Every structure is written in C-alpha cells, then in structure tokens.
Structure 1
C-alpha cells in the first residue's frame, strides 16, 4: 500500500489538555471497532508521557479497555516493537556507566598530556559534557570528517583549539573502544533502529492505527520516521501547541538556521520539526476533541502574543479580551521560603476540593523539596517526578559520610556524622549505641585530635575515658580500620574504594543499607562502579568525596507507592503533556525559568555553527513553549521570590513579558500570601525582665576561687549559673585553637621552665617541644603563632634578667593556696609565678596573654585576684608580699609588657597593704551578701566591669533587657 501524498498532522493547542484530548480523539476514532485501539501503536516522547496517556485512557474508559501499545521513542527496540530491526544484527549497546568512566579517563589523560591538573570530579564533569556533545553529533548526523577539517582550519583562541584537538582525538579513538568491546554506541544504535523502522514502514505500511504524539525536539532520524508516520494510510502525527493562528509574516520571521536562528522562540523547535518532516504549517489541522480540563481559548492567543518576536510586540498596545486571565493569579513572595509556603497552601487548598487535581511545575529543585516538606507537615505525601538524588537519601548519605570521614582523617565532625547516622545499628541496640556515641562526642570537644583512628584513641586516654567507652571504641576502630588503610594510600582506585566503603557501611548498618528504593539504587550503583571502576585510573584520595558525591547525585530515587494521587510535582519535561485542574508555575526568576544557556566546554559556538548543529539557546525556547502550554490550564498560579538566599532576583523574562503585554489583566493572589505570612507568625514576644535568682542559703556554695570572686562581683548571674546550676559551655567540635588554648600552653611552658631551673637558654627548647607535640596537625597554628611565642618568650627572658637585677629570684610556679575563713567560706587561688628577694619578701607575677585589668577596675574594687592572692600566699608562706606585677605576653610588635596594678601613670595610687586590706573587705562583703546571705544574683550587675560576652548571656536573655536597664 503506497504512502499518502497529503500528510495527516494535527495539533492540540495550549488551552487543550494534551493527553486527555489525545485519548478522547483516539477513542472516538476507534469507537466502531472494539479492537482497533488495541491494535494501535503510539509513539511518545518518554516514559512519563506513556504513563500520563495511560491514565488519560483509564479516566475516559467506562469499563474494561484494551489499551494500545505505547512506546517511548527512545526505546523502540525495548519491547519487541521494532522487530524489523532484528535484521540489522546490531551489537549490544555500550554500558552507560563504563562509557562515562572511560570518557572521564580519556579527559584526565588528555589533560595530563597538556600538563593541566584536572581533578577526578572535574574530569567527570567534562566527560559528561563530552558524552553529550558526542551524542549530539551522532543524533544530528554530523559527518566526522567535517570536525577533522575544522580542527585544522578553525580560527579559534588557543584554549579552544586545544579543547577541540582533544575532542577530535577522543572521537577518533572511540570506534576502537567499541570494536574492542564488541558493542555499539547507544545513540547510534537507537537511531539505526529508528531508520530501519522508517524504511520498513515506508516499504510495507503496517496494519492498524500508528500515532506519533507529543514530540517537539527530534533528531533527523526520528523526523524521517515521523515523515513516514504522517503519510501512512492509518498514520497520525499529533503535535503540541503549533501556533496555527500566527500571521504568516510572523511565522516566516522565525529563523531556523544551522547557526541556531531564533532558538529562544517557543515555536522554533516546532517549526524546525515541520520543516524536517516536510509539512507546511497550513497543512496542520486542529485536533478538535475538547475535554473538561481545557482552558479558555482566548488565553492561548494572549500568551502567544506575549512571547512573540520583539519586532512584532507593537500588538501589545491592544488589551486582551476581558476575562481571559480570570483563572490566572500571581504571587511575588519575599523569599524562597515564603514562596514554598504559598505553593504548599495552594496545593493543600486544591486537595480540599473533591476530585480537584493540582501540580507544581518548576525546574527549581530547592523549591520542590521545600514544598514537599511543607506538605509533609500536614501528612500529605506528594509525588515528585524527579525523585530524590541518591546522595540525599540515608543510604547514599551514609556512603558519602564514610568517604568524608576517611579523607579527613576521622576528624570529630566527620567521624560523628558516620556514627550518628540513622542507619547505623538500626533497631533495638541503637539507643545503647547512641549513648556511647554521645560519650565519645563529649571527649572529642575542643581542638581537633591528631589525625586518624589513633588520634581518637589517644584523646580517650588523655581524658581518662571509662573502660566501657574505650572497649566500645576499640571495636568501632576495628570496623573503620580497612577504610583508613585504603584512604591513606597515595592513590585511590575507584573500584577498591567503593568496595571498602560498601564493606564498612555494611559492618556499621547491616542490611539496612540496602533496604527500600534508595538501598536498591545504592546497591545497583555500587555493583556498576565495582565492575567498571577499573576503567578510571587511581586518583587522589582527597577527590573521593566530590567524585562519589557527583555519582550519587546523578541517581534519582523514586518511591513507587503511597503518594497522594491528586497532587504532583513535575519538572518542565515531565509536565509537557500533562494537565491538572490547578497548575502552579513556581520559581519564575531569570536563571531558574528559563535556566541559563550553559556554554559547551567542548564545542564553541563558532564550531557548532560550522557543523550545523545550532546554538545553545534551544533550551530557552523549549522553556517558553512549556510556559505557554502550562498557562493554557483552567486555573494557573504564577509564583516567584523577590530575592534568593543571598541577593535580589530578577523576574523571569516570561513573567516580565506577560505582565508587559496584558498589564492589569493579571491579578495578584493576596489570600494565599497573607495565609503564608500568618501561618508561622508568632505573637509579639514579651521581653524578659532582668534575672535575679535568689536561692536559699543552703543551696549556696561555701567554696570560691580568687578569679570567681571577680566574676561574682561584676556579674553575679554568671557565677550563679556556673557554681550553683553547675552549667558549663561545651567546647565546639573541631574548634580552632583559640586564646584559651594559647594561654594554657604558654603557662605550661613557663611553669616547666621555672621548675626546671629557669635557665635563659632552656625556655625556647621547651616551647619548641610544645609546638611540635601539641600542634603538629595544625600547620596554620604553627605558622602564625610560633613567631609570636618566640618573641614573647625572648621578652620573658629579658624581663626575668631585669627582675633578677632588681633583687628578685624565682620562688615557685603555679603556686596554690587554700584558706578556710572564719565564716566557713573556703578561698583558693593559684599564682602563675612567685619570686622572692634576699630579705625573704615575695612578689607575685600573673601572666596575661590578653589585656590585664584596667586601672579603673583596680581602683573600683573589681580586680580582686591579685589582692586576694597576696593575702593567701603571703599568709601561707609567712612572708610579706611586697610587689605585684602583670606580665602581658603578646608576642606582637611590643612582645611583652610588665605593669604594676597599683600604679597609675607611673605612680602608685595605693600602698600594697592598704590594697590587700581593701580587697579582703570587699571579699568579706561578697561572702556576706552572696555566699552566706540572701542577695539575688543579678545579671550584669556592673556591666562596665563584667565580661562583654559571657557564656550565659543567652540564658540571662541580656539582649532583651540590657538597653532598658540602662
């Protein structure tokens, strides 16, 4: 039977619900023959379209229905559809995972030959772009000889020329790889099958209805098949949204050229498709099968007008017909979080209407995830067609956490992320496991221990951990030891790394690692990488987390059951042919919808134009086509956020064009926005009063140190929190060495020096030993702090010599003194250094790595430490204290400074005995008020002398009352 001369090509306009109209039309055309539909064959763009059309048939069937055979165009040989291709005797398709890794290897080796350092993860990114470029050349049927000629003759920048050279080298090398493995390129194989089907159908048209529907962006081979289908005796081609109402002048003005032309226009890809199948726009007929899901007809023309070429926008002066946009509302949220709340409320409101369906269409995955989380608050589990990247699921995150921990030398944060993972010891033993992990957490607080499992073991010994915790950690370390052994090698092999991560994850989590859709997806990826990982040369262990993260991110995980059937989240591709009663277009900001055209790292625009494969703007044109199609629904909500997490945003060009063309016809949705802002709004908080706790005398301790006495006087609440409530701020995990650690270390060095005899030449070696033993794993600390330590200690030696010349000699270091007073209070203190002179008198020296107390603090009676130490130590030693000194050890431009706390501008303002007496009197008053009496512990009682920031300021809610108190 010969092919028809006149093609049968139809279009369903944007206001029509594509799959519902298609199903309605096919049912109507086959109503006279109960088996005609079952014999039909329908070609669709993708699997999602197959599912959507299946659902549409089910919705329209009154009872039993024999469905037609529906096949995605990319899987023509997957279900026996193209039995005609069997005669081609094509070898099997090349494994996609092996191809990806082999291309990554070729990119790395090419970069190495050029002397460029390319990490494994960067090579993977370039390899993915390389694979896409190769597939595009194959799909567009570009003659390889043309590329070779361009490599020789193209006038390109040097870096582009190098890139093109490598691309051409890979292209020439690839056929040898295919021949050696006995496989064929997947795209080439698929297109060969398509061509075989087209030839077979052209020569011998099949019996039954053949329909190709929903296709927009097609390769030349698929276009040849559609050309045949359109001319079969029982063939139909149904296209989405061909603008048959556009003026011929405007249609002809859309340039379809080898360089790309007007790729950003929503009709560009459809015009190119019609050209390829040799069909004029006038030959495209309307598919006149309306459905209940159709939108207003007039809106289609108004939206098309908004997206027309710039030189035809003079038509915007004409207002659209009244009521065209009655079903369209807009929301401009302040932030992405607010936008997600609005969308979630709109979906929930739709669910409250019986039978109503709603869908969020957005390319913004962050918005999609936020909306899903908001709906989960109300117990609504929405179907997200994109699924969740494997790296964001518990099994994927577990593998990635293990890689991070190993490459970071089991640093505390990374190690605890593994041990606290929800899959580890899942089940009845998890509570006991978490008790041990929390105990380990407390001992790892502070500065990072020495790298490796041995460093954690050493930290447990330093902190005198209980035997049970040490025994538990020994078992954990044995499970992690193979991981440490592998990732401490100079190079890391992918297959071996995946195997050791798999075994370690299984040792910690057991079978929980492989349960559910995410576990099965992880198992599949691990199996592929273990099998094909040998095709990637070893890489630096530090690259492993980023490389694995990229591989895990590219595997989607979808839950198959249990979703709300009336709600969905679609990407723009998944939504292309589907229709809901309410369509929400979210994330309408420039750079999101449409996404920016990504530059091709392999084929420059000039090269693409020379090869005739177009530019990089066609994604914008498809986004515009999707935007117009989605606006055809009966109810549409457009949303955007005025700023993102870091800066103001620019509205999408589609948003701006629509507002510019229709003006006030678009109405804002105020109710949902107000609800979103009110939903999580709390009442105006009542500021807390200044805390003044006053526990009973029995609860007040009778023991205090000389430094705590200063805190008690200036900020009684902080002392109360520490001494009575027994609160202590936990050190952060993996903290950088701070002023406290530096001060403790300097005190230790000086203590060892004094107790070792105080010889001038012995001080620097003690400091060098400390820096080497304690800070070997903190090179930045050594580089920045070591010079300051050396300068400060040189100053100590010089000052000690001057002090010696004045008649003083070291008496002791870290000298402790404790005294129980008559009122039952015990006072204790420690002097950093005590010297004596020939007459037996004492001098107390206090080292300060920060600023010593000011003269105002001393004269005001808020610097009690030195006066109380003079009393305690002098009494214990039975000798008079004749001198007090602060030695400030900064190590900066002024390496040190010695000051007398009782001197002001070089003159003493009080005699030492009088200062001691005044200090004792002030201390007695504190004891009577706070330790023995009922005085309340007022927060920041003397803020001018209290620490500017206290560990307990948040507990005292200082920010709420301090300004008012003043």
Structure 2
C-alpha cells in the first residue's frame, strides 16, 4: 500500500488502473493497526504520544519507541512520561549547552562580559542572579549558605536602581545598604546580620573567582580565553570539604573535555572582542552531546532519531511530528552553492533529504502497531500535514481513513480525560472581600494610603494586615516616577533654602540645586540625563517667574512639611499622616496648600467624588493644627494643583474650585471628606467593611502592586466585576 501511495507524482495516474477490489484489499491490510492523531498543538501532541507509549507498557514484555526528527517534541514527550516516573532513554542525549555543566559555563561567561568586560549594557544584576541560582554553584560555601547570601544580596542591593557594572560598585553598594539607618523598605529591615555577612562573603568569593578572566576592550584570542574560563568554572563549582554533589554531574566531564580541546588547539589565534566569547563558547557547546545519565532508563521505552530507528524494532512505534517542515524537513537552498554547483562538485540535491525521509517513514510503518501524531498548530501558527500523510489519505478512501482517525481519537480522548482529571471543576473565582479581625486594621495611615483605601481596600489589606511589601524590580531603570521624585527634590530644596523672599541670583541657586540632585542620574544614566535635564530647564524658566509672583505677596513657604493628626475613634485613636509638598502662609492668616504633580493631576470630578482626597485631608489637618510649627489658618486654605512636567506646557496651575452645577464649596468639601474619613475608618475598625478588590474600577488609574494576589484578571474576566 505504501509503495502505491508514495509512488512518484508523475505516475500516480496508475491508481486509476488498479482493480477496485485489489485496491480495497491493499488499503484494508495496509491501514490495519495504524492510528493517526491530529492534536491541537505541540503540548497536546506530546501528551498523546506519551499516553501511546505508556499504554504499551501495560502489556508485559512489549516495547515502545518514539521516533521523530523534532527534538523539541522528543523533550516534551520525555517530560510527559515523567509524570508516571518513566524515564525514557533518549538516543540523541542533549547538547552540552543545555546541560547543567554547559549552562553553568554559559552563565559564567555572560556574567563576566557584564562585569569585568567593557560596558555594553547594564544586565549585571540579572546575570548574577541567574548564575547564583544555578544548582551546581558553590563558591566554597555550602549550598544553603550560598542561597541565603544570594537572597540577601538580591533584596539588599540588586533590587532597586541599577548599579554600574563592576565588583567595586557592588561592594560599595552592599556596604552602604548594610549601614543605612534611614527609612528602608520592610524587606530590607528583615535582613539579619548573618544575611549581610553571607552576602559580603559571597561577593568576595565571586570577585576572587573572576579575577583571572580577561576583560577590557580591544582584541582577544577567544581560544586562549578558554583556560581562564575553565578556572572560573572550577572556582564556581568548588564546595566545602566533603561536598561532592556538584562534581558528580556527568555533564562536567564533557565540559572538561571541551576545555581540554581548546587548550591543545594548534591553529592560529582566533581574534575577537571579549563580548564575543559567550557566543563563541555556546556555538562550541552546541556541537557536543551529553549522554543522559540521570538514573536508570526504562528498559522498554526509547526515544529515537531517524538514523537510530533504522536499526531497531519494537512492538509499538509512535511517529511524531508528521507536518511539513518537520517530517520531511524543510528544504533550504544554499545561497553560496546553488543546484548546478552542487551537482558539479558531486553533492546530493536537497530533494534527496525528502527521499530519505520517505524511506524512513515507509520502513518504520512496517511495524504492526503504529501511531502517527501531528499538531494542527506549532508556535501558534497553523501547520500543513506531511505530504506523506496526504498521499496515504489520497490513496485510501474516506471510509478506511476515517477508521484510522477514529483509532487516533481514542488516544486523544484519553489525553483530554487525563488533563481534565477526576476532581470537580473549581468554583468560579469571585471578587475577593476578606474580613479579617478588626484589630488588624492599621491605626495610622498616610493621606496617600487613605486614597488607596478608597480606591482599592485590598491593597491596604495585603500591605498592612498580611504584611506583604512589593519588591522593587531587579536593576530597575529610572522611570517617570523617579523623574517626579527628582523634580520634587529640586523644588523642595529651593523652597527650604529660601522660605521667605527670593534671592537676587535665584536662577543660579536653583541651577546649583538641580545639578546636585541630578548628579547621580548624570553619572549612572547619561542617556536619561540628556532627556530629563532639558525638561527641568524648561520648567525652571517658568517656575522662577511664577515663584517670584507668589513671593511678592510676602508669604512664607513651608516645603515638605510633615503632619500628624490624632483622630479620636471611641476608645481608640487613629493617626492620619501627611507630607505636604508645600504650604504657604500669608500675613492675613490665610494659607494655600500646593501639590506638585509631574503626572496628570486628578480632575475636579475625582476630588469632589472623594476618590482623590489628598489635598482636602491635608487642609483638614492644617486647620486642626496637625503640622508642626505651622499655625492653623482662620479660614479654609486654597487648594492648588501645579502640573510641573517640563513638557510642552512646562508649568500649569489649577485652583480647586466647584463646578457650576456643584452645590458644595471648598469649605464644605473639606469638612465632608474629614467626616467621610472618620466613617470609613470606623467601619473597618469595627469589622463592618470588607477589603474589596477594586470596588470602583472606573476610578482605578493604574495597575496595583497586589492585583496578582487579588487575581483581578481571573475574576474580572469571569464576569464578577470590571478591571
């Protein structure tokens, strides 16, 4: 049957001359024992192939094998078999670059380029964490000690602003973080002395391990660098006395042999830049295969390539990856050797690979029990079934081919049942509304956190009740939030230096303060400095006249003023804290609260609806005398938003005032917000309110730090609410 189905295309007209009864007999006998499975994607195909292999093992003595030219499919099937504790013997092994030893060497080379080589980026922190997470790394320490030191190094130094490359910078940042006594995030405060000591020991060991790696700019002999690379790997693998676990991995012997060959190369030097070495090493490691020696393989299951499968037979054969481009492989026309040139020098044409693939396909289908699998999509893109399958389907009639597909659907059904499991489906996620013990509600919040309590109470629950703090990203590049912090610092320092009156050289003084504040950015991120500094200059040009106009009224400026307001709540006291950007007091006893915004200020509608109560609550605090050394004004202060972006409109002010259809004035609004604060806090302190996640999704302006914990995407997509 296969001889007829796969005959040359020019001779397929012979099918019409076959006797119908003879053709039916050929198809019936040829398709007997064959199953064809069309899976939805690569994952489902791998699971079906694993089930077909596993089913064979139910019969004592029967042997099963997977044959595929797709290495990714082979690894997926091996992983699926592991769920039944079946380790299939893979004849191809795995490339050295993908083994434990090879990954260690690659990570070491990449980290060296980022640390001791010329600066080509700022990925040192990511490379370092990946290297320390490798299970074979010891650096002369016990593995638990190294893991603890790496965690302390990550939380204490690497999370936050990116550091300049180099061990000297890393040591300096670690020493500064250890002795920092200022306001530190809670995760850093939880680190003990032993954690800092282990982190210091770890950095010292890393610096000692990489001291022999050639660095710097200029030409480098890539082959000669292999000896220094070997020394680094040995230092990374060296554990305390008696720890032999790291040295037992079989891939390390293959890695040693690669370094040995590099040491005995007789050819001339291979020049390149130091940044080329990781790619050079990875290319060499890809050419070496490490035999799979982790545990004893199952004696009756094998994973074979096309060449190995020609010599072996089994009771059930699974042919995987029957899609065009996989089996047969995609033909690639060489740009340097076209077909006539290949023919003149005696090379085979590309079509010979297709013929060889067809030969292997026919030979493997000689087994009595065969399963063919293919995926309708690979990497999200639709596929075309192999031309071999197309030929078989064209030769067989629809009735016989449907029987083949029906046998394949049985295996697909088993895979679906295995994925579904036997447990009842979990209930649909709902919007979380935790109600913990009311005593856990914090007795002190800032005005910013009060706004969070209104918009997303679940974030207050996660931070203050559960005690969870979001970690900063690793080596985070400065963003718009950092730019806002810098601008606030410049304007705040200027106001603190001159609380009354403007100096004659105000522009010079402001420029000096700005240069001092922006100096770290200029040193660490010159590209961002080149973008942010012109914005600050445009802002300064508008800020100084604006400031002079306001100072002409003889007011006094209080910058970055801290306030605490103790509010009696029955038998307890709730403390509202604030740090006002700027408070101006006038001679007539009036005052003005100013909030500088580098982003978009809240709209009047948001403020009057109670979703942005920052300025109104600060006004209530000021009138209650909550700001030290600032007298309470006789009337409600003016509330002013100043958009200080430095963009096309560098500085724009907006006085908070009622809309035309708004009956409340600012005094009534401040009083209402203070009363609503008392009521809101009382409901949480008595347990009547739940910490709902995103109760008002329309007014959620950005993704929260705890949205993943609240499973916002899941319950919102299920129709429980909006997100």
Which residue of 2 is the match for residue 446 of structure 1? 160
Verify the 8 A CA contact 1:712 1:719 in the aligned structure 2: yes
Structure 2 residue aligned with 1:689, among 425, 430, 449? Answer: 430
Q: C-alpha deviations, 1:489-542, integer Å up to 9, x for none?
A: 433332443222222222222265553431111110011112328734231222
Q: How does 1:337-736 map to 2 (within 5 A)?
A: 337-409=43-115, 411-425=124-138, 429-443=142-156, 444-464=158-178, 468-481=194-207, 483=210, 486-510=214-238, 514-532=247-265, 535-559=268-292, 562-600=296-334, 602-664=336-398, 665-666=400-401, 667-668=404-405, 669-681=408-420, 683-736=424-477
Distance 1:462 1:867 in 2: 39
* 1:782-931 alignment, distance < 5 Å: 782-804=529-551, 807=553, 811-823=557-569, 824-874=573-623, 875=625, 876=627, 877-880=630-633, 882-904=637-659, 910-931=664-685
1:315 aligned onto 2:56: no
State the shift of 1:742 in Å.
2.6
Shift of 1:411: 1.6
SS of residue paired to 2:377: coil
- The match for 2:2 among 281, 300, 303 is 303
* Stretch of structure 1 that moved more, 451-460 or 367-376: 451-460
The one-character-per-residue Cα deviations of 1:210-267 (angstroms, maximum 9, x if unpaired) are: xxxxxxxxxxxxxxxxxxxxxxxxxxxxxxxxxxxxxxxxxxxxxxxxxxxxxxxxxx
Q: CA RMSD in A?
A: 2.8
In structure 2, distance between residues paired with 1:361 and 1:938: 54
Deviates more, 1:585-594 or 1:504-513: 504-513
Stretch moving more, 916-925 or 892-901: 892-901
Q: Please name the residue that 1:748 is paired with.
A: 489
- Change in Cα spacing, 1:942 to 1:386, as seen in structure 2 (3 Å) is same
Q: What's the secondary structure of 1:369's corresponding residue?
A: helix
Instruction: Please say if residues 445 and 731 of structure 1, whose CA atoms lie closer than 8 Å, have aligned partners that are also in contact.
Output: yes
Deviations 1:388-444 (A, max 9, x none): 111111111101011111223362221011112101239992112211111222232
Q: 1:613 to 1:690 in 2, by over 3 A?
A: closer
Q: Answer yes or no: is the 8 Å Cα contact 1:695–1:934 preserved in 2.
A: no
Which consecutive residues of structure 2, in runs of 5 or more, have no partner in the other structure?
Answer: 116-122, 180-191, 239-243
Deviation at 1:587, TM superposition (A): 0.8
How far residue 895 of structure 1 moved from its aligned partner, in angstroms, is 2.9
Distance 1:566 1:779 in 2: 62
Distance 1:452 1:334, change over 3 A: same
* Counterpart Cα distance in 2 of 1:897 and 1:885: 10
Match of 1:280 in 2: none
CA distance in 2, matches of 1:671, 1:767: 72
Asked whether 1:952 is paired with 2:698, we answer: no
SS of 1:811's equivalent in the other structure is strand
| Preserved contact between residue 149 and residue 202 of structure 2 (Cα < 8 Å) | no
Secondary structure of the residue aligned to 1:825 is strand
Q: 1:946 to 1:559 in 2, by over 3 A?
A: closer
Contact 1:495 1:533 in 2 (8 A): no
Greater Rg by CA: 1
- Point out which structure has higher relative CO (alpha carbons under 8 A, 6+ apart): 2
How many aligned residue pairs are there? Answer: 663
Answer whether contact 1:494 1:534 (CA < 8 A) is retained. no
Note the alpha carbon deviations across 1:608-643, whole angstroms, 9 max, x for none: 233343433322221111111111111111111011
**What is the TM-score normalised by the length of structure 2?**
0.85
* CA drift at 1:703: 0.8
Identify if the C-alpha distance between structure 1 residues 562 and 619 changes in structure 2 by more than 3 Å, giving closer, same or farther. Answer: same
The SS at the match of 1:926 is helix
Give 1:323 shift.
Answer: 2.7
> Contact 1:589–1:641 (CA<8 Å) still a contact in 2?
yes
Conserved 8 A contact 1:358-1:582: yes
Deviation at 1:333, TM superposition (A): 0.5
Which residue in the other structure is 1:162 paired with? none
The answer on whether the counterparts of 1:514 and 1:522 sit within 8 Å (CA) in structure 2 is no
Q: TM-score, normalising length from structure 1? A: 0.65
Partners of 1:715 and 1:671 in 2: CA distance:
49
Using the TM superposition, give the Cα deviation of residue 701 of structure 1 relative to its aligned residue in structure 2, in angstroms. Answer: 2.0
Helix, strand or coil: the match of 1:843? strand
3-state secondary structure, aligned to 1:816: strand
Q: What's the offset of the Cα at 1:710?
A: 1.6
Q: How far, CA to CA, are the matches of 2:525 and 2:340 in structure 1? A: 50
Give the Å deviation of 1:858.
1.4
SS of 2:466's equivalent? Answer: coil
- CA 1:689–1:563: 2 relative to 1, 3 Å: closer
Note if contact 2:430-2:720 (Cα within 8 Å) is conserved in structure 1.
no
Q: Is the contact between residue 395 and residue 514 of structure 1 (CA under 8 Å) also seen in structure 2?
A: no
- SS of equivalent residue, structure 1 residue 498: helix
Tell me, what secondary structure is at the counterpart of 2:108? helix
Unaligned runs of 5+ in 1: 1-301
Asked whether the equivalents of residues 718 and 939 of structure 1 are also in contact (C-alpha less than 8 Å), the reply is yes
Helix, strand or coil: the match of 1:898?
A: strand
The structure-2 alpha-carbon separation of the partners of 1:493 and 1:755, relative to structure 1 and needing over 3 Å to count, comes to farther
Deviation for aligned residue 1:840: 5.0
Moved more, 663-672 or 459-468: 459-468
Residue 326 and residue 540 in structure 1: after superposition, are their counterparts in 2 closer, same or farther (change >3 A)?
same
